[in-house]
Amino acid sequence: MPEIDDIQLVKRVAQGDERAFLTLYDCYVSRIYGLTVRILGDPMLAEEATQDTFLKLWSRAHTYLAERGSLLLWLLTIARRTALDRLRLERRRPTLSDSNDPTEALQTIPNGDSLPEENRWRSMHFAVQALSPEHRQVIELAYYQGLSQSEIAEVLGWPLGTVKTRLRAAMDHLRQDWGAR
């Protein structure tokens, strides 16, 4: 969907237009739900976090600033914070590996994405999967489970310096990989 359409739709949502809200819901809900499932690992909790995210879109649409990024990025950022807050509330400890089997996840993808959009997230997803297990693990714990470096060191039983080194190396790998695309 072109960015200009998103901006118009968000303006209409800010004015209380339910149809515009549902259009954005249909467009982005699978991305939001996918992220919340990834973070929370529980379909019921993920559904609740997804619902909260869209209720925030409904009540805070007027705060969205297009110059700061795409609407999808804004919604995913809200969804991540909402899901991490819930994760802390539930006191769930993180899994030590990517709980979502990528093959299985790819089979559940709806057909709503346009081809360029689908190619984009697929390439990013495979870049993460291409990291070494240690690098993928620290990215998973830091970004998708909301743990600090010292918490990761405690969970994995690694020295803090090792965690810092591996986290930085993982980010550099991704930065180079995505920068080259």
Partner 1 sequence: MTYYEHVPFRENIPAYALGALDAEEVAALEAHLRTCASCRDELAAYRSTSESLLMAVPPQKPPAALRRRLQRQLAGGQKAARPRLNWSFSRVAAGVAIVLLLALNVFSVLQVRALRSQQAQLTDQIQNGQMALAMLSYPNTQSFPIKEASVTGSLLLDTEYNNAVLILRGLPSISDDQTYQVWLIAPNGERTSAGLVRPQADLPFLSEPISSAQNLSNFVGIGMTIEPAGGSDSPTGLQIFRVDF
Interface positions with partner 1 (CB under 8 A): 18, 21-22, 25-26, 29-31, 33-35, 37-38, 43-48, 50-52, 54-55, 58-59, 69, 72-73, 76-77, 80, 100, 102, 105-106, 108-110, 112-113, 120-121, 124-125, 127-128, 139, 142-144, 146-150, 152, 164, 167-168, 171-172, 174-175, 178
Smaller CB separation from partner 1, 10 or 29: 29
| Distance in Å, CB of 159 to partner 1, minimum | 15
Smaller CB separation from partner 1, 44 or 65: 44
Smaller CB separation from partner 1, 8 or 118: 118
Query: Do the beta carbons of residue 21 and residue 58 sit within 8 Å?
Result: yes
Torsional sign, CA 126, 73, 68, 142: negative
Angle between helices 71-90 and 3-14 (to 10 degrees): 60
| Distance in Å, CB of 7 to partner 1, minimum | 19
How many whole angstroms separate alpha carbon 157 and alpha carbon 167? 15
User: Whole-angstrom distance between the N-terminal and C-terminal Cα of the chain?
Assistant: 21
| Distance in Å, CB of 5 to partner 1, minimum | 19
| Distance in Å, CB of 115 to partner 1, minimum | 14
Total Cβ atoms within 10 A of residue 173? 18
- How buried is residue 9: exposed, middle or buried, by Cβ count under 10 Å (0-12/13-18/19+)? buried
- How buried is residue 10: exposed, middle or buried, by Cβ count under 10 Å (0-12/13-18/19+)? buried
| Distance in Å, CB of 140 to partner 1, minimum | 10
Smaller CB separation from partner 1, 12 or 125: 125
Smaller CB separation from partner 1, 93 or 168: 168
